[in-house]
């Protein structure tokens, strides 16, 4: 009998992870927990478009009821909107009741470093006061507070920097000739490889500290134009020309990201969780992404589009 079938029959004897929002980061964690013999349940908005890993029990939500019975660990990666956090709206009362019963061993909420707002390029850590300067940052800060307000919930908040990894790197745009090296003097962004996210979450699960907040980022905040330039070099493509920020003609959403400038410290994940990042900077990360995407066989078009 396949191991997955055994897990389904005897899941009551194992740990059960519920991923509310079975997306890019949740999938990376789920693969690790499945390998440890855990039961994993994931929710998705569209079952038809979902690409589950073997043995993940997927259900469509909103739609079906979220099964909390027997769940020992919860990871929520559902983003808030102007109406608040959809998970809080739908499940708060049940989460309150189950937290009071002591059912959960660990709960994780994936937030964002946008809650720190614009810091003018200064360093921030988890003790820096929340001061969102964008609408999305404000929504996240409110969602964090809503999760924190549930009594007895063993909550861990993870403030993620920009996520990249296989399928989410600069290479597709570079190969299509659509990448632009937009330059805003002094601007830097922090980043994190998806597998390092999974490492940090797994380490927290193994060392729970309810109430903890962790910045999830690599060691080197860097200008976006440097990252694109390095990606082009890895592909053997011409480095796209620089475009001044004021001349870039960006969408309001894209411009809002450049409205926040900060350097995010990750000391706590190392000292408290004992994490060693596999990809401590964008160079090691992009090299790994390139290998994972098997771009070695790519041949640039004879007449590439204008950069």
Residue 116 in domain: yes
Integer Cα distance of 95 and 104 in angstroms? 9
Residue 145 burial by CB count (10 A; 0-12/13-18/19+): exposed, middle or buried? Answer: exposed
Q: Residue 63 has what pLDDT?
A: 78
Q: Residue 301 has what pLDDT?
A: 41
Residue 30 in domain: no
Integer Cα distance of 225 and 183 in angstroms? 6
Q: Residue 307 has what pLDDT?
A: 26
Residue carrying the six token digits 């964690």: 29
Q: Residue 64 has what pLDDT?
A: 77
Angle at 199 (CA atoms; ends 195, 201), nearest 5 degrees? 115
Length of the chain: 307
pLDDT band of 13, cuts 50, 70, 90: low
Integer Cα distance of 74 and 301 in angstroms? 46
49-85 tens-digit pLDDT: 666 666 899 999 887 788 899 999 999 999 999 999 9
Q: Residue 50 has what pLDDT?
A: 63
124 forms bridges with which residues in the sheet?
264
pLDDT band of 14, cuts 50, 70, 90: confident
Q: Does residue 226 contact residue 170 with C-beta atoms inside 8 Å?
A: no
DSSP 75: E
The range of the structural domain enclosing residue 112 comes to 78-297
Residue 54 in domain: no
Mean pLDDT of the chain: 90
User: Which residues in 49-68 are b (16+ Cβ under 10 Å) and which e?
Assistant: ebeeeebbbbbebeeeebeb
Instruction: Report the 10 Å Cβ neighbour count for 234.
Output: 19
Angle at 181 (CA atoms; ends 180, 183), nearest 5 degrees? 130
DSSP 84: B
Residue 125 in domain: yes
Integer Cα distance of 20 and 94 in angstroms? 14
Q: Does residue 45 contact residue 61 with C-beta atoms inside 8 Å?
A: yes
Cβ contacts of 18 within 8 Å, gap of 6 or more:
41, 42, 43, 66, 67, 68, 71, 73, 74, 75
Between 77 and 257, name the one with better pLDDT: 77
Residue 196 in domain: yes
User: Which residues in 106-116 are b (16+ Cβ under 10 Å) and which e?
Assistant: bbbbbbbbbbb
Residue 29 in domain: no
Q: Residue 7 has what pLDDT?
A: 41
Q: What is the CATH number of the domain that holds 261?
A: 3.40.50.720
If one counts the domains in the chain, the total is 1
155-196 tens-digit pLDDT: 999 999 999 999 998 999 999 988 999 999 999 999 999 999
- What are the Cα distances from residue 40, in Å, to 9, 94, 107? 13, 20, 14
Residue 151 in domain: yes
Residue 282 in domain: yes
């Amino acid at each position: 009998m396949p191991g997955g079938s055994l897990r389904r029959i005897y899941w009551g004897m194992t740990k059960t992870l519920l991923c509310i929002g079975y997306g890019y980061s949740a999938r990376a964690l789920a693969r690790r927990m499945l390998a440890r013999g855990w039961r994993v349940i994931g929710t998705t908005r569209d079952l038809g478009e979902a690409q589950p890993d073997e043995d993940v029990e997927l259900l469509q939500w909103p739609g079906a009821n979220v099964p909390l019975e027997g769940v020992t660990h919860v990871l929520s990666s559902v983003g808030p909107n102007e109406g608040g956090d959809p998970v809080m709206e739908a499940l708060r009362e049940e989460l309150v009741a189950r937290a009071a019963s002591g059912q959960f061993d660990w709960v994780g909420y994936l937030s964002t470093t946008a809650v720190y707002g614009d810091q003018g390029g200064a360093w921030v850590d988890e003790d820096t006061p929340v001061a969102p300067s964008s609408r999305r940052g404000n929504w996240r800060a409110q969602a964090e507070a809503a999760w924190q307000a549930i009594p007895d919930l063993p909550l861990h908040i993870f403030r993620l920097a920009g996520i990249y990894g296989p399928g989410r790197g600069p290479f597709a745009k570079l190969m299509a000739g659509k990448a632009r090296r937009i330059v805003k003097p002094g601007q830097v962004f922090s980043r994190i490889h998806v597998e390092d996210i999974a490492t940090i979450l797994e380490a927290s699960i193994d060392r729970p500290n309810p109430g903890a907040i962790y910045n999830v980022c690599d060691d080197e905040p860097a200008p976006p134009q440097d990252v694109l330039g390095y990606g082009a070099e890895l592909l053997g493509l011409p480095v796209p020309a620089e475009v001044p920020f004021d001349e870039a003609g960006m969408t309001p959403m894209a411009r809002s990201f450049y409205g926040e400038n900060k350097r995010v410290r990750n000391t706590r994940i190392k000292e408290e969780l004992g994490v060693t990042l596999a990809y401590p900077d964008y160079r090691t990360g992009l090299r790994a992404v390139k290998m994972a995407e098997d771009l070695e066989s790519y041949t640039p078009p004879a007449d590439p589009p204008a950069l």
